[in-house]
Amino acid sequence: MAFNGTEGSPILPEVAGDWTRRFRETYKGGTTGHFFGRDILLQLLEQPGAVGIRFYYAIDKDGKRQLIAVAADAEQNDQLGTGRAVADDSCPCPPWLSQANILNS
């Protein structure tokens, strides 16, 4: 099945809140989210052939959870190689948290 850029769909905030609460209860005290700025996300999406972004869970050399982002094409392939961007250096939550809401409290 090929990607066409329409993958994913909205969910109700209450459902998202239940899911993130369950995660926080399961993995107490750890990273609960990551923030990527607009510029790097646009850099990924503006690469030729990109129809979306794939996110990979990762653990860095210090044992901390990371989230890696890479553009993907319609054939479901990661866009890697010369001139292609792969994103890291996100802002982990905590400490960079939103004000309290159903997704983080």
What's the pLDDT band for 29 if we cut at 50, 70, 90? confident
Using the predicted structure, report yes or no on whether residue 44 has a pLDDT greater than 90. Answer: yes
Pairing mode, strands 52-59 and 86-87: unpaired
- Does a structural domain hold residue 66? yes
Share of the chain above pLDDT 70, in %: 100
In a domain, 28, yes or no: no
β-pairing verdict for 33-35 and 91-93: antiparallel
Range of the domain at 66: 37-89
- pTM of the full predicted structure? 0.88
Q: What six digits make up the tokens of 5?
A: 């850029």
Q: Into how many domains does the chain fold? A: 1
Q: What is the Cα–Cα distance from 34 to 18, expressed in whole angstroms?
A: 18
Q: Is residue 82 part of a domain?
A: yes
Residue the block writes with tokens 């990661």: 78
pLDDT at 1: 79
Residue 68 placed within a domain:
yes
Asked if residue 67 belongs to a domain, the reply is yes
